[in-house]
Amino acid sequence: MTELNLLLLAAVLFWFWLHQAQARDKARQTGKRLAEKQGVLFLDDSVALKQLKPQWDGKQLQWRRRWSFEFTVDGNQRYPGSIHMLGPRVQQVRFLYPDHMEQISP
């Protein structure tokens, strides 16, 4: 590879990393805000990427991301939740309670 190709590859990887970090931060902030609104505690102040795939949204190619997180209702047990994003937009947040699933559209 030439130096120019390596530089272009590095620029693309940096761009992808930057956008991924911004999406992760938005998912984390959304999860915390909606957990508080639901009256539950968002645990570990973090989200984990579970799925990343390209998807055409009718206008352009976007990244579809699914993030997972954990929350607690009573401080004793952890329950799973997920945040679904298309590009920079949060499309859906799910809180999986023991007896039912609470789905929130932000």
pLDDT digits (tens, 9 = 90+) for 19-54: 999 999 999 999 999 999 988 999 999 999 999 999
User: Between residues 28 and 97, which one has the greater pLDDT?
Assistant: 28
Distance of CA 69 to the CA centre of its chain: 9
**In the numeric block, which tokens belong to residue 105?**
């559209």
> Cα–Cα–Cα angle for 55, 88, 54, nearest 5°?
15
pLDDT digits (tens, 9 = 90+) for 44-83: 999 999 999 999 888 899 999 999 999 998 888 999 999 9
Q: Is the model more confident about 29 or about 103? A: 29
Give the span between the Cα atoms of 49 and 31, in whole angstroms: 13
Domain count, the chain: 1
Containing domain of residue 66, as a range? 3-104
Closest CA to 71 of 54, 87, 47: 47
Q: Residue 74: its pLDDT value, please? A: 85
Flag whether the pTM goes above 0.75. Answer: yes
